[in-house]
Structure 1
Amino acid sequence: MKYALIAFTLLASACTTVSGDGNSSAPSGGERKEIVGLEEMSLEYIQTSWGTPDSNVPAGEGRTVRFKNIRTEEEDPITEKIEIKICDIRLDINKAQLVQSWQYETCRLRSTK
């Protein structure tokens, strides 16, 4: 059982590092890939893909954390065109270090396919 847990942990961390850009934080002009389903996700897990937050300040019982340069893709169901945007995102983290709520703040259109 102990070995199964270790194997699962290694597999999970290998999967999470593949989805990120591999940097501790996004360099100037760099991008972080969007993570789907942020509600109730741990900050520690998010940092395996996005690295160190660009801003991390106390807020009430938890923290407000901001990451910059998140790449998002939205498809128009009628035209089937895909808009690629680079956004900043704010995460409200509770005292258990889980995402309580989140929202995109500033988004810039990068391209359309």
Structure 2
Amino acid sequence: MSENPNNPQPQFNQDPQFSQDPQFSQQAPYGQPVPTPEQQAQMKRAKILSILAIVFGAVGLVLLSPLFSALGLAFGLAALRVPELQTRGLALTGSIIGGAALVLSIIVVGLGAIRNLG
């Protein structure tokens, strides 16, 4: 076969009618709707909130700070409220860490206040 620049031959295991077009490279799997740009922005926002929830919850747990713990819990709950969130694991983890850190820090602060009074 001769190489014709106007009609390139398909490469190994490629059908010429199904060539890769750059605008269709990011397709959703079959049967799933393609998210709109607004939904993509919401998913990105929820992911950022989830990561902030884990970070603030962990800092609150290490420092036993009610402020950081409450922020971690708030960010985690805010991320869970976004309906476009596909993986709820990060948001749920941040909420749990933030809530546990908040309860623990309140107990420690309360015990410290009782100890100082007595």
Question: Normalized against structure 2, the TM-score is what?
Answer: 0.30
Structure with the higher strand share, 1 or 2:
1
Structure with the higher helix share, 1 or 2:
2
Larger radius of gyration: 2
